[in-house]
Amino acid sequence: MCPKYECATELLGKKWTGLIIRVLLGGPKRFKEIKEQIPEMSDKMLTDRMKELEHCEIIKRNVYPEMPVRIEYELTQKGQGLEPVIQSIQDWGEHWC
Amino acid sequence: MCPKYECATELLGKKWTGLIIRVLLGGPKRFKEIKEQIPEMSDKMLTDRMKELEHCEIIKRNVYPEMPVRIEYELTQKGQGLEPVIQSIQDWGEHWC
């Protein structure tokens, strides 16, 4: 169990990560749209978390060559697979925290 | 979602916590029995984690006044409620990590 469990919890244990994933479970979003749903989080923090999530292949960054250029973030399949995890944590927290 | 989700993930994100809970899902155990199932973890680390888990009311410590005294640790109801969380993290890790 160890290394795989740690891989997941190290990521999910970081502040804001679960919330960002939850916002993206609603479909692809632009940076600004994610920010609007989590106003307490700084731009710097969101940028850092998005880079980590992209590095871990939880989200992908799509660049549309329009004028001005449009950039959207969406969950990969790996990222979408976190839905039951986030839901069960949320359920537990609501009941017990 | 934030504070409750964080309460849960801060705890679960710590090294060994999930594994200790998983061992205790199998029933009450003595310190030595937990240690035997997670031999890579130091005594000091297990002691620290057990104190945290007791403080968060995830586990309780039962003292039986025998000779020599017997001490067992078991999950509280709150702790048992983490089973679906740990299972879903485990499933995700096995599939994606």
The reported pLDDT for the residue numbered A1 is: 46
Alpha carbons A80 and A59: distance in angstroms, whole number? 9
If you average pLDDT over every residue of chain A, what do you get?
Answer: 89
Residue B94 confidence (pLDDT) above 60: yes
Contact between chains at B96 and A81 (C-beta distance less than 8 A) = yes
Q: Taking a C-beta distance cutoff of 8 angstroms, is the pair A5, B91 a contact?
A: no
Q: Taking a C-beta distance cutoff of 8 angstroms, is the pair A85, B85 a contact?
A: yes
Alpha carbons A57 and B73: distance in angstroms, whole number? 38
Q: Per-residue pLDDT tens for A68-85? A: 999 999 999 999 999 999
Alpha carbons B78 and B59: distance in angstroms, whole number? 8
Cβ–Cβ pairs < 8 A, chains A and B: 96
Residue B19 confidence (pLDDT) above 90: no
Does B32 touch chain A if contact means CB atoms closer than 8 Å?
A: no
If you average pLDDT over every residue of chain B, what do you get?
Answer: 89
Q: What is the mean pLDDT of residues A88-93?
A: 87
Q: Provide ipTM, 2 decimals.
A: 0.81
The reported pLDDT for the residue numbered A56 is: 86
Domain assignments of chain B as residue spans, ordered by start: 2-96
Contact between chains at A97 and B4 (C-beta distance less than 8 A) = yes
Which residues of chain A have a CB within 8 Å of the CB of B93? 1, 4-5, 7-8
Contact between chains at A19 and B1 (C-beta distance less than 8 A) = yes
Instruction: For chain A, give the percent of residues with pLDDT over 90.
Output: 62
The reported pLDDT for the residue numbered B6 is: 65
Give chain A's largest Cα–Cα span: 49
Candidates B10, B78, B90; nearest CB to A5:
B90
Does B90 touch chain A if contact means CB atoms closer than 8 Å?
A: yes
Q: What is the CATH number of domain B2-96?
A: 1.10.10.10
Contact between chains at A97 and B3 (C-beta distance less than 8 A) = yes
Contact between chains at B95 and A81 (C-beta distance less than 8 A) = yes
